[in-house]
Chains A and B, each alone.
Chain A
């Protein structure tokens, strides 16, 4: 049986390597030539996929997390809430309790330990999930409120909003810490985008360490492949990592990007590369399915 609802994450050790370019064009190429596809912008601090896909947003919903609200009338000043909180998000000062919503991880500990039931949940808005369509593909993005730092819980909501009957392409946040882990942890395949420069190689090494730690299958895409040296290629062959696609440094692509245009629309010969990339990933995933 072929697995239909495969989840592909596009990530990179650092930003600006072309993650959004790869993920938007990949989603478009899949939907046009293979199967139904959805694009999920999980780079919620800087969601940029909409610039290229120009979606029609059909609905937006606010995302909230639970933070504590303290009824100071009921509080007996025991201080157990501040004792259990590992993040200094709740501080008990004699007869009043002060909370810091930005530091709260919504673990619920303070509410559970409070002996007088003085603590209840309060919904705090952290951002939005927008759902819509962009031509032939489904489009979902998260937008973190400015000044808020609750990136992982918002990413979780973006992923929940996806429907399960099509290929999902996730534009992951950059880096190797909590937000990107949240975006890629249950994916079937990870595409790591890099550039052939010393910075690109260093960041790729970190990203490879991350996907290996999470035990996820992955391959590398080299963007601006002729713009630097061949150290990335050497590294990949030494580590036995597949380079699934190389995109050359093309001024036409850079121009299209700066204007918010899709590569597959301005230079049709690139579409083939994205279709091949998908076929490669699909084959890989179907193979693993058989092994299980």
Chain B
């Protein structure tokens, strides 16, 4: 079983559209959407949800007003400035404390040190994750609640589930739509992957982000390949990216034309391959041949 993870230094490089096309070309694979912050793959693959689970990422503190004597110890020790003083809700004199749920990181220090045991510490549901059917195979995906933490944990959970499913269904390929950036969710997306495909654009920002992401992936000793999307928008910059790849011994598996059909396909809820023949779809088919070869090595 091989796991192909598609990432991009910055967002908006066409990563998700490319994943949808790869899913079409692979015909049979387990799909995983790990871009949990801005999950879009479902818009094209239109999954039918089979199983739905809560995602519990951590805990959160809650001060029970009736038990709080207003000593303020919690506010003094909280490193996240998450506890604020407030007037008693029954209008009588004196004050109590409350936890700002957006700033609270669920460390539990206040819970431990409250002299009146007035702080509850409960698990919170940060989102939901799903196992679904799509026209190209089973898909694992999720939604993360607003202003929620722990996207890295959720990403790891999705990849773990996708692997379980691949084993059960005897599938030889998992395609993962990874997270952008170089932070916690993307690290959780790529560790242990068989091939990391970095989708970039021929812009200065694209090159800059590519360098950072490659350095990150190198740190985890992963096998990296690159695709340059919309490469004809700035051929000079594409050459620079190719030169960079060559110097760093990274294969450029795809150079994809700028193609107005990409937006049209998205509006029709199709992958570019399904949308029909176009410059872009021909390029992606070429890329898929190279990727399949690397995956079978």
Contacts and interface: CB of A to CB of B under 8 A. Distances in A.
A254 B109 CA distance: 50
A203 B102 contact: no
A20 B237 CA distance: 19
A86 B58 contact: yes
A106 B81 CA distance: 13
Contact of B43 (A108, A185, A202, A259): A202
Contact of A260 (B105, B146, B204): B204
Interface in A206-232: 206, 209-210, 213-214, 227-229
B209 A174 contact: no
A58 interface: no
A84 B108 CA distance: 7
Nearest to B112: A84
A146 interface: yes
Interface in B176-190: 180-185, 187
Contact of B181 (A45, A51, A178, A185): A45
A46 B266 contact: no
Interface in A62-97: 84, 86-87
A7 interface: no
Given A15-B11, A146-B215, A258-B234, A105 B266 contact: no
Nearest to B180: A15
Given A14-B12, A178-B149, A259-B204, A107 B109 contact: yes
Nearest to B12: A16
B182 A177 contact: no
A202 B266 CA distance: 12
Interface in A172-191: 173-179, 181, 185
Contact of A107 (B43, B58, B105, B147): B105
Contacts of A185: 102-103
Interface in B149-199: 149, 151-152, 180-185, 187
A151 interface: yes
Interface in B36-64: 37-38, 40, 43, 58-59
B24 interface: no
A259 B208 CA distance: 12
B106 interface: yes
Contact of A146 (B103, B148, B180, B182): B182
A46 B209 contact: yes
A174 B180 contact: yes
A46 B269 contact: no
Contacts of A181: 102, 147
A149 B202 CA distance: 27
B107 A105 contact: yes
Size category, A interface: 35 or more
A108 B110 CA distance: 11
Contacts of B183: 45, 144, 149, 151, 179
A177 B151 contact: yes
A258 B204 contact: yes
Interface string B102-143: 110111110011000000000000000000000000000000
B77 interface: yes
A82 to B, nearest CB: 13
A229 B264 CA distance: 9
Most central of A20, A45, A108, A206 by chain B CB within 10 Å = A45
A107 B209 contact: no
B112 A109 contact: yes
B16 interface: yes
Contact of B204 (A51, A84, A173, A179): A51
Contact of B146 (A17, A48, A210): A210
Interface string A8-47: 0000011111001000000000000000000000000110
A115 interface: no
Contacts of B185: 177
B144 interface: yes
Interface in B191-225: 201-205, 208-209, 212, 215-216, 219
B87 interface: no
Contact of A14 (B40, B266, B267): B40
Interface of B: 9-13, 16, 35, 37-38, 40, 43, 58-59, 77, 79-80, 102-103, 105-109, 112-113, 144, 146-149, 151-152, 180-185, 187, 201-205, 208-209, 212, 215-216, 219, 233-234, 237, 263, 266-267, 269
A-B pairs, 5 with minimum CB distance? A16-B12, A15-B11, A107-B107, A175-B37, A14-B38
24 contacts: A16-B11, A45-B212, A51-B205, A86-B108, A87-B107, A105-B105, A144-B183, A147-B216, A173-B181, A176-B38, A176-B144, A177-B151, A177-B185, A179-B183, A181-B147, A185-B102, A198-B43, A198-B267, A198-B269, A210-B147, A228-B266, A228-B267, A258-B204, A260-B203
Interface of A: 13-17, 20, 45-46, 48, 51, 84, 86-87, 105-109, 112-113, 144, 146-147, 149, 151, 173-179, 181, 185, 197-199, 202-203, 206, 209-210, 213-214, 227-229, 254-255, 257-260
